[in-house]
Amino acid sequence: MSPEELDAAIRHVRIDPGFPAFLKFCRRIGADVIIVSDGFDRVIAAALEHADLAVPFFANSLEWRGGDRWRLAFPHWQSDCRVAGANCKCSHIRPAPRARIAIGDGRSDFCLSAAADYVIAKGALARHCRSLKRPHATFADFADVTVHLRGWLATAGRILAKAARTRAPVPQLPGLDG
């Protein structure tokens, strides 16, 4: 299909209705949000634009080659990716001065979740966390994600405040369900 036909089809892609409120909450508390997806840049960019949201993202690429020809490109592929993802999500992990939260639903999120302080999961990622007995919260939509994140932050804040008052080492922060 032509770029115009593809863009017309993509215009029907909608983001989770709770995502804008989640993003607003994250910005209010000073949290950085980055989308790391095994999907395609053109689809993600169009969905974000349609929702009038600006969020940095890393994704695979759709490159138009003229006429009705397209090329799939994988700029974040790495031969040593632990989950053999087209977009090696582990390669996007950078040292973080604050807690790192992973929100995901698929196999490509497994390694990213292992580096997280808190995981909010559904689908294959939730099953993976359960199989490893890794603390996590489950979600159906981003309204759930926001509720879980608020609860975890409140719990983490109490734990960190107590550790600071008693000068005790900071314990591992818990998942809230899973």
Residue 178 has pLDDT above 90, yes or no: no
pLDDT digits (tens, 9 = 90+) for 2-19: 888 888 888 888 899 999
- Region 3-166: CATH code: 3.40.50.1000
pLDDT digits (tens, 9 = 90+) for 19-77: 999 999 999 988 889 999 999 999 999 999 999 999 999 999 999 999 888 998 887 78
Cβ partners under 8 Å of residue 129, min gap 6: 113, 119, 121, 135, 136, 178
Q: What residues does 102 pair with on adjacent strands? A: 119
Is the pLDDT assigned to residue 175 strictly greater than 60?
Answer: no
pLDDT value at residue 100: 85
Task: Output the pLDDT for position 154.
Answer: 85
pLDDT at 162 over 60: no
Distance of alpha carbon 161 from alpha carbon 170, whole angstroms: 9
Average pLDDT over residues 72-101: 77
Q: Which residue has the higher pLDDT, 77 or 143?
A: 143
